[in-house]
Amino acid sequence: MGLKTPLYDTHVQQGAKIVDFGGWDMPLHYGSQIEEHHAVRRDAGMFDVSHMCIVDLSGGRVREFLRSLLANDVGRLKTSGKALYSCMLLPNGGVIDDLIVYYMSEIWYRMVVNAGTRDKDLAWIRRHALDFEVTVIERKELAMIAVQGPNARGKAAALLPPPQQVAVLELKPFFGAPFGSWFVARTGYTGEDGFEIMIPAAEAADAWGRLLQHGVKPAGLGARDTLRLEAGMNLYGNDMDENFHPLESGLAWTVAFEPKDRDFIGREALERAQRESGRELVGLLLEDRGVLRSHQKVLSAGATTAGLSGEVTSGTFSPTLNRSIALARVPKTSQPAVQVDIRGKLHAARIVKPPFVRHGKALIDIS
């Protein structure tokens, strides 16, 4: 038996297929993963993401601490509620985790880290927080529901009292704000608009039921993965981990090398990596029939196994594009035409620039 979120019984009652996910019993789907995927792209779907770890950081030196801890620079955050996506790195540049941090005030930040890395993340954060006298509090009493899709914000706002509905709909992308006991952020992991709602665990089942009444479709881990991959979003443990740095994981945009005097953990290693040709994370579109999956080998077109180029890190069949897509780590010198070894047979594929889909629209040529 794994760990259970406050919504576990609700998922069982609604007929979800429960699977183990990083030690948590989580819904894979509620009947049709494809229908759940399309509901998010076309209308609104909701995900239980209460397994994620919410952490509040406070203290007079908390900004200084986070500027040292994270590869992205929280010094850019000036407005309360503004969010920042970043990686937390080892000294060798390897990615401990990717996360979102919210600037609430000069003495308070909120952070959301991944479920599977919770223990090592908290240990790392607390270890380094000591030097800055920063208090680290895990908010175990909070659940989190992600409501995503073109109609998600309107349907989710209906759960709040009328005076708050206008305010929550006025939230800008990548901002969050408290609404009573709830904290609502205009963030997500699907490539669609929507909210991630942090809510007292005791209120989660009622909120889920009310969202269902407003026509929001429950969705599980299966749809969450196809949606995030279409959106070109990395999954920790697949597309990056402690063995790879952000520059070879499609996350160079999350590293703030300016100002030059900010000495964050892993900076020296990343500056060395900038001077090397190395590898990069790219998108793949399969030209032949088949399904791309993680760990499949990627070769230069026309090459034998001796011409090995790289490896698929995440792959799936895209319901929106009706094609097989993937993220793959390959040498920067790779040509657009490649081959993927699928069960011992080479299949033609093409390197493309992710994302594949955003806001329901294809961003790559699939002809």
Helix (H) or strand (E) holding 155: helix 152-157
Residue by residue, DSSP assigns 43-112 as: S-EEEE-TTSEEEEEESTTHHHHHHHHBSS-GGG--STTBEEEEEEE-TTS-EEEEEEEEEEETTEEEEE
pLDDT at position 308, please?
A: 64
CA distances, 230 to each of 45, 209, 258, 346 (Å):
16, 28, 31, 23
pTM over 0.85: yes
Q: Which domains are seen in the chain, by residue range?
A: 8-49+141-230 (3.30.1360.120), 277-362 (2.40.30.110)
Decide if 283 contacts 364 (C-beta within 8 A). Answer: yes
Return the structure tokens found at 142.
């909070």
Q: Where residue 302 falls among pLDDT bands split at 50, 70, 90?
A: low
Helix (H) or strand (E) holding 271: helix 267-274
Token pair 């789907």 is found at: 29
pLDDT digits (tens, 9 = 90+) for 48-83: 999 999 999 999 999 999 999 999 999 999 999 999
Return the structure tokens found at 180.
């009573």
Decide if 112 contacts 56 (C-beta within 8 A). Answer: no
pLDDT at position 59, please?
A: 98
pLDDT digits (tens, 9 = 90+) for 192-213: 999 999 999 999 999 999 999 9
Q: Where residue 306 falls among pLDDT bands split at 50, 70, 90?
A: low
Neighbours of 45 (CB within 10 A): 29
Q: Count of residues for the chain?
A: 367
